C-alpha cells in the first residue's frame, strides 16, 4: 500500500521556492497583490484547520510591521492625522508593499505544507530534484515539526491556564515563556532524531534517481507559476499598468483610502 499526494511534492517545492523568490524581488504593489492575495487566500484556507494558531500569530505580526513602517519610513505627505500621530505616505507605502509580500510568501508556505506529506517530500526531492539527502531530510523533518510543535503548543497552553497565565501570549514575557519550552523540546527532538537517523543508516542512504513526474496537475501548477512570473515581470517593468490601466491598485490607492478616513 502506498500513498500519493495531490501534486508531486517536487513540483510544489519548485512552485513555492520560485514564487518566494519572485515575491522577494518584486517591488510593485499591483503585481504583489495579484500574486500574493490569491496564493494567500488558498494557502490560509488550506492551512486554517491545522495551523490556525500560526495564521493568527502571522496576522498579529502586522502590528509590528505597522510600527516599523511608522518608525522607519514615515516620510512624505501626511495622509492621516490621529492626535499627535501623523501617518505619512512613506509608511503606508512600506506597510502595503511589505504586507503584500509577506502575506504572499506565507500563503505559498501554507499551501506547500498543507499539500505535501513529509515522507513523500523527502523521497521526491532527493530522487526527482537530486537535492542533497541532508537538505531533503531536514526539510521533511521541519514539515513534521510543525505538527509536533502545534501539539506541544496545545499542551503548553493547557498547563499555562492551570498555572494562572494567559494561554495566548500577548506580552514579550508571555511569548518568551511559551517559546522557551517549545524550543527546548524542539531542540531535543532535532538532536535525538538526528542521532536516531544516523544510527539507522542515514549516512549510508543511496538515492535512486527518478525523472520528475509531470501529470496534468503538475502541468497546471507549472503553468500557474509561469503566469505569475510574467505578472511579476510586467509589474516590475511597469507594463502591468498599461495592461490593466483601470485598476488603480497602487499604494496611492491605499493612501487615498486613508485620506478618506
Partner 1 sequence: MIEEHGDASLEAYVEEASYPSKRGAVKNSFFSASAGELTLIAGPSGSGKTTLLLAITGVLKHLLQGNVKGRVNLAGIDPLTEEGFNEVPRIVGAVMQDPDKQLAMPTPYDEVSFTLENLGVSDEGRVWSVLKEYGLEEHAFKPVEHLSGGQQRRLVIAAALAHDPDIVVLDEPTASLDPWGIKLLKENITRLLRRGKTVVVVEHKVRYFLNMTSRAYVIKDGVITAEYRRDKLLSGDTLRELLMTGIDALPPEAHVRDVRSREGGDEVAVSLNNLTCGYGDVVVLEDVSMELRAGEVGVLVGPNGSGKTTLLKCIAGLLEPVDGYVRVMGEDPRRAGVRPRGRLVFYVPQIPDYTFVSSSVEGELKEVSKKAGVAFGDLVDIAPWVKEALQRPPYRLSHGQRRWLALSVGVAYMPKALLLDEPTTGLDLRFMGELRRLLTKAIRAGTAVLIATHDPRLVAEVADRAFIVDCKRVREVSVIDALKYLEKPLHES
Binding site for partner 1 (CB under 8 A): 1-3, 117-119, 123, 137, 140-141, 144, 147-148, 151-152, 155-156, 158-165, 176-177, 180-181, 184-185, 188-189, 191-206
What does each C-alpha distance from 175 to 47, 83, 164, 167 come to in angstroms? 22, 31, 15, 10
Q: Give 75: exposed, middle or buried? Use CB within 10 Å, 0-12, 13-18, 19+.
A: exposed
- Which is nearer to partner 1, 71 or 204 (by Cβ)? 204
What minimum distance in Å lies between the beta carbon of 64 and partner 1?
23
Whole-number minimum distance, CB 209 to partner 1, in Å? 14
Nearest to partner 1 of 158, 248 (CB atom)? 158
CA atoms within 13 A on the CB side of 17: 9
3-state secondary structure of 220: helix
Contacts of 146 (CB under 8 A, 6+ apart): 51, 54, 113
Rounded to whole angstroms, the Cα distance separating 79 from 86 reads 8
29-72 vs 133-163: helix crossing angle, rounded to 10: 50
Distance CA 106, CA 103 (A): 5
CB nearer to partner 1: pick between 50 and 241: 50
The C-alpha cell 492551570 sits at: 162
Query: What's the closest the beta carbon of residue 106 comes to partner 1, in angstroms?
Result: 22
Q: Which residues of 84-104 are buried (b: 16+ CB within 10 A; e: fewer)?
A: eeebbbbbbbbbbbbbbbbbb
Q: How far is the CB of 198 from partner 1 (least distance, A)?
A: 6
CA-closest candidate to residue 94, choices 114, 124, 123, 64: 64
CB of 2 to partner 1, least distance (A): 8
Residue among 8 and 152 whose Cβ is closer to partner 1 = 152
Closer Cβ to partner 1, 101 or 123, answer by number:
123
Nearer to partner 1, 185 or 212 (CB): 185
Closest-CA residue to 70 (of 90, 51, 46) = 90
Q: Smallest distance, Å, CB 131 to partner 1?
A: 16
State which residue, 182 or 244, has the beta carbon closest to partner 1. Answer: 182
Smallest distance from the beta carbon of 173 to partner 1, in angstroms?
9
Amino acid at each position: 500500500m502506498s500513498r500519493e499526494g495531490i501534486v508531486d511534492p517536487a513540483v510544489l517545492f519548485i512552485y513555492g521556492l520560485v514564487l518566494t523568490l519572485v515575491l522577494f524581488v518584486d517591488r510593485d504593489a499591483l503585481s504583489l497583490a495579484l500574486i500574493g492575495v490569491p496564493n494567500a487566500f488558498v494557502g490560509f484556507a488550506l492551512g486554517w484547520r491545522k495551523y490556525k494558531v500560526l495564521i493568527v500569530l502571522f496576522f498579529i505580526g502586522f502590528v509590528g510591521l505597522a510600527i516599523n513602517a511608522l518608525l522607519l519610513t514615515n516620510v512624505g505627505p501626511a495622509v492621516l492625522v490621529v492626535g499627535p500621530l501623523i501617518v505619512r505616505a512613506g509608511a503606508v507605502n512600506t506597510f502595503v508593499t511589505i504586507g503584500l509580500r509577506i502575506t504572499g510568501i506565507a500563503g505559498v508556505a501554507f499551501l506547500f505544507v498543507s499539500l505535501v506529506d513529509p515522507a513523500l517530500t523527502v523521497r521526491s526531492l532527493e530522487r526527482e530534484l537530486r537535492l542533497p539527502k541532508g537538505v531533503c531530510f531536514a526539510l521533511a523533518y521541519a514539515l513534521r515539526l510543525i505538527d509536533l510543535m502545534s501539539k506541544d503548543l496545545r499542551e503548553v497552553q493547557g498547563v499555562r491556564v492551570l498555572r494562572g497565565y494567559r494561554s495566548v501570549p500577548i506580552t514579550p514575557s508571555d511569548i518568551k515563556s511559551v517559546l522557551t519550552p517549545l524550543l527546548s523540546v524542539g531542540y531535543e527532538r532535532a538532536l535525538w532524531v538526528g542521532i536516531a537517523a544516523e544510527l539507522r543508516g542515514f549516512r549510508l542512504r543511496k538515492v535512486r534517481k527518478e525523472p520528475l513526474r509531470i501529470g496534468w496537475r503538475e502541468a497546471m501548477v507549472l503553468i500557474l507559476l509561469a503566469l505569475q512570473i510574467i505578472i511579476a515581470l510586467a509589474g516590475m517593468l511597469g507594463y502591468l499598468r498599461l495592461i490593466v490601466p483601470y485598476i488603480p491598485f497602487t499604494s496611492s490607492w491605499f493612501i487615498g483610502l486613508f485620506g478618506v478616513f
